[in-house]
Amino acid sequence: MSGALGGRRYTAVDSMSQPVTHTIEVQCSVRHAFNVFTERLDLWWPPGHRKVNGRLTMEARVGGQFYELDDSGERHALGRVTRWEPPHRVGYTWLPGADAMPTQVDVEFLPQGPATVVRVVHGEGGAALGSQWPVRAKKFDAAWRDLLPDLQAFIDHNPEHPRENK
């Protein structure tokens, strides 16, 4: 099942292994959308979707860590970067919400005239959750419905600098 909600497109989870998919359109270049998502995620990712309400960091390389740094300086692992193709794609494993193995998040940044389509696909990945996936996928679906409007609002209120596109 798919549809639109508040200008955002989504695909509901209705099978055992179907990934959660969300798509939004942001009014900026592909490069700016990619940079905000990966380099400034600490500024737009809402506190209610963090482990310890710390600072988020994604290291800009395949194998780089995605983590949250708490006030004492301790790192809390969130995942690892599995794909780094600026400014068009980033992929990372996601540890929260998975028992033993992480799930997989892939984000594409696609040009749409002067705007950019941000497409997030959150799948089972190596977690092999089997019959548990639909339950977890509903939680991931709800989380992305909360997160992506915050990304969109941040971009709307923080336009790109003219030099960023060079």
Could you tell me the CATH number of the domain that includes residue 113? 3.30.530.20
In which domain, by residue range, is 99 found?
Answer: 2-165
Q: What is the DSSP string of 72-86?
A: TS-EEEEEEEEEEET
* Total domains in the fold of the chain: 1
Distance of alpha carbon 62 from alpha carbon 41, whole angstroms: 17
Q: What is the pLDDT of residues 48-104, one digit of tens each?
A: 999 898 999 999 999 999 999 999 999 999 999 999 999 999 999 999 876 678 999
pLDDT digits (tens, 9 = 90+) for 124-163: 998 888 888 998 999 999 999 999 999 999 999 998 876 6
- 8 A C-beta contact, residue 145 and residue 22: yes
In this prediction, residue 16 carries a pLDDT of 58
